[in-house]
Amino acid sequence: MYHTLGSKALPVQLFKPATLPISSPVLGFALEQIEAKAFLQEGLNGAGIKIGIIDGGFLKANKSKSLKHVFEAERVKNYQDFVTPELTPYDGIARLDDGHGTEVWQLIGGKHPGKNIQYGLATHAEYYLARTDHGAYEKRIEEDHLIAALEQMHRMGVRLVNVSLGYNIGYTNPEENYRREQMDGKSTLLAKTISAAALEKGMLIIVAAGNEALDPWQIVSTPGDAEHALTVGASKFDIWDKMNYSSIGPSWLPYVKPDIAVYASSGTSYAAPVVTGMAACIWQRDSTLSNFEVMDLLKSAGNFHPYANNYLGHGVPTCTRILKLMDGQTISRPNTLRTKKKSVKIPLKTEASYVVAFHKTNEKNVANRYMYRNPGETLKIKRPDRIRQTSLLVGKEVLEIFWE
């Protein structure tokens, strides 16, 4: 599970100090990475968009200074606790009643007026909250709660939902654990429900990929395996490489997972809500778009697109690139190199502390990721055995090498 940070978690880094005019907010690390200023300058803030958040709990959300503006404007339209319905909203006991949803919410639409910090883009959206997961145990009934919450949100007209929850192993009853091969987009009821909600109900459900890349599990967890979920992995900040913990897509899927990635220091739970805020602003700007058109925009704006892989998907999308695509403009794409040689020399235009090569056995599956530290002005890359393509990441830029 990854609805809580766990023992390996690092402190959550919510913002990056920046030199901006006093009237402009200091942007969070992730908002800085995705160039959120481009959306803010257009006045995009999620106004008029209904956002659902399905999570483990919203402990003390009503006391959060970063969410005060939402409560004062009465933009919380519904709160449902599927786990302990008798519990007072936002109340409970830490570790049992979980503040994970509060942190996720802050990254969708939070801002701190006293510190002039903005954490999420959708500051003016309407929110529909559902607590479906208990902090003290893991049971399959929690997945039933999640499905019930989705159905309720659909009845209320919610089209955009953030799910920073995932299920694989670690159930209180080990017999309920999933097997890795079941992460195929069609074996779990959750994955089937998510895809059906997208296909039949027009919902855009944004799901965290998971944090198990360094564990024996390694791969995305359900419902992140659902074909029609927008599954979000975690990237690093300066060089848009994969965070080591961020789960990878199963090699047996006929489609790419995760779909995209953005910066999160402490878990993909905190990457997904950043993208949810972006999606809200996209729909605010053009309400005629379908859920799949919004997904396509986010993927098309990624720095790896169209050469997606099962580590970072289509890469990191930026608001600047999204606006250009929405306005019918062309944007830069990865350069390509085709060679029949066993090795190539790549001139590097900019200094980089390291360069990352994603060596792939086919168009999407990474066999290994290799770091070239302090590469200098020219980088020599040898073709590993059985590798057909290599995505070379230099900072934010990608070069796609086709070994022929």
Q: What is the pLDDT of residues 324-371, one digit of tens each?
A: 999 999 999 999 999 999 999 999 987 778 999 999 999 999 999 999
- CA distances to 206, 285, 322, 323, 324 from 327, rounded to whole Å, are 24, 11, 9, 6, 5
Rounded to an integer, what distance in angstroms lies between the CA atom of residue 255 and that of residue 240? 22
Spatial CB neighbours of 178, under 8 Å, sequence gap ≥ 6? 167, 168, 169, 188, 221, 222
Tens-place pLDDT, residues 22-76: 458 899 999 999 999 999 999 999 999 999 999 999 999 999 999 999 999 999 9
Rounded to an integer, what distance in angstroms lies between the CA atom of residue 239 and that of residue 25? 24
What is the distance in angstroms between the CA of the first residue and the CA of the last residue of the chain?
41
User: Would you say 135 and 101 are in contact if contact means Cβ atoms under 8 Å apart?
Assistant: no
User: Would you say 234 and 207 are in contact if contact means Cβ atoms under 8 Å apart?
Assistant: no
Spatial CB neighbours of 250, under 8 Å, sequence gap ≥ 6? 180, 183, 184, 219, 220, 225, 257, 310
User: Would you say 72 and 148 are in contact if contact means Cβ atoms under 8 Å apart?
Assistant: no
Q: Is the pLDDT of residue 176 over 60?
A: yes
In the sheet with 50-55, reading across from the earlier edge strand, the strands are: 76-81, 126-131, 50-55, 160-163, 204-208, 230-235, 260-263
Rounded to an integer, what distance in angstroms lies between the CA atom of residue 61 and that of residue 99? 8
Q: Is the pLDDT of residue 180 over 60?
A: yes
Q: Provide the greatest CA pair distance for the chain.
A: 68
Rounded to an integer, what distance in angstroms lies between the CA atom of residue 225 and that of residue 125? 28
| pTM: predicted TM-score of the whole model, two decimal places | 0.93
Computed over every residue of the chain, the mean pLDDT equals 93
Q: Is the pLDDT of residue 9 over 80?
A: no
Strands 50-55 and 26-27: unpaired
**Is residue 228 helix, strand or coil?**
coil
What's the length of the chain?
A: 404
Q: Which of 134, 240, 227, 150 is nearest to 185 (CA)?
A: 227
Tens-place pLDDT, residues 297-315: 999 999 999 999 999 999 9
Residue-level pLDDT at 261: 98
